[in-house]
Structure 1
Amino acid sequence: MQLYANSLVVGAVGGLHPVDMAFALVSFLILLALLKKYAWGPLMNKMEERENHIANEIDIAEKNRTEAEKSARDAAEQLKNTRQEAQAIIEDAKKAATEQEQQILEAARQAAERLKKSAQEDIENEKEKAIQALQEQVASLSVQIASKVIEKEINAQDQEKLIAEYIKEVGEDR
């Protein structure tokens, strides 16, 4: 007992007791088991969930970036096609305008030719009417001169005077 009492004194002073060590070891193992079950397991599960969430977000962001790049390429291609179509429409409109301009000019030229021809025909008709009227007046004047000559016999000087008077009358009638 003395040994036991000595060991208690040594243990109380700072010695190593196997019972205390066993109790401390068992307590530590129980603490580790409780920590693993209630702290480490849920903590690791949360960490894994967070890791999966971040990985999913990265994947989604990568997909969105890829889709955005594809959309940008498609939009650029569509814009290029639209510009080409617009340029083609402008070229077609210019060509149609040029053709229409030529048609209008040709129609105007033809109308001018018709008007010119019609005016020339009118001038010819008026000229012929004027010539015919002049011929009728000359005939009338000839008859009048002849009748006056018959009424009186005239000499050369009187005849010239008479002709000048009739020419003057014709000029006034116009």
Structure 2
Amino acid sequence: MHFVWSSLVVTIIAFLILYWLLSRYAFGPLFSVMEKRRELVKQQMDEAALTRSQAAQYVEDQKAALQQARKDAQDIIEQSRQTSNRQAEQLITQAKEETTRLKEEAAREIESEKNKAVAALRSEIGAVSVQIASKVLEREVDAKAQDQLVDNYLKEVGIRQ
């Protein structure tokens, strides 16, 4: 094999000129496009990581809000239960007070009616006593006749009633 030095020099010069032209006009823009693409991919990955962390935080916030809503609902239910118990106790207390008042009022009415009946009976006894006395005065009688007179009068009074 025969080695030609002139071809080697021309090839090296052509390669250096080609390398210089490529580095000046092709590699620079190509590397800058590749660098921009790398930065864009890095930026998108950072945004995706940020979005993922925001989504995770949002999910945690939603879980906490849901838990708080459940707790609030339980509190409201418990307050309602306590309120209904208090109202039931108040109603029972009022009913007991009303029952006591009605009993006392009935007792007063019974006592009043009893007093009226006693007064009416006294008045009736007074009238009967006067009538008995007048009958006794009309005629003087012995004990047997007096008992018969009282029995007759009681029969008369029984007929009038």
What is the TM-score normalised by the length of structure 1?
Answer: 0.69
Is 1:32 the equivalent of 2:15? Answer: no
Report the alpha carbon displacement of residue 83 of structure 1 after superposing the two structures with TM. 2.1
Report the alpha carbon displacement of residue 86 of structure 1 after superposing the two structures with TM. 3.1
State the distance in 2 between where 1:148 and 1:157 align.
Answer: 12
- Which residue of the other structure, out of 148, 156, 160, is the alignment partner of 1:165? 156
State the distance in 2 between where 1:146 and 1:61 align.
Answer: 125
Question: Which has the higher mean CA deviation after the structures are superposed, 63-72 or 142-151?
Answer: 142-151
Q: Which residue of 2 aligns with 1:123?
A: 110
Q: Which residue of 2 aligns with 1:143?
A: 130
Q: Which residue of 2 aligns with 1:95?
A: 82
Question: Which has the higher mean CA deviation after the structures are superposed, 36-45 or 141-150?
Answer: 141-150
Question: Unmatched 5+ residue regions in structure 1?
Answer: 1-15
Question: Which has the higher mean CA deviation after the structures are superposed, 46-55 or 158-167?
Answer: 158-167
- CA deviations 1:74-103 (Å, max 9, x no partner) are 331233233224323432332343233223
State the distance in 1 between where 2:25 and 2:123 align.
Answer: 141
- CA deviations 1:22-58 (Å, max 9, x no partner) are 5565445433322222222112211111111111111
Percent of residue pairs identical? 34
What is the TM-score normalised by the length of structure 2?
Answer: 0.74
Superposed CA RMSD: 3.1
Q: What amino acid sits opposite 1:121 in the alignment?
A: R
State the distance in 2 between where 1:152 and 1:72 align.
Answer: 118
Q: Which residue of 2 aligns with 1:51?
A: 38
> Aligned residue pairs: how many?
155
Question: Which has the higher mean CA deviation after the structures are superposed, 104-113 or 117-126?
Answer: 104-113
Which one has a bigger Cα radius of gyration?
Answer: 1
- CA deviations 1:79-130 (Å, max 9, x no partner) are 3233224323432332343233223312321221122112111111111111
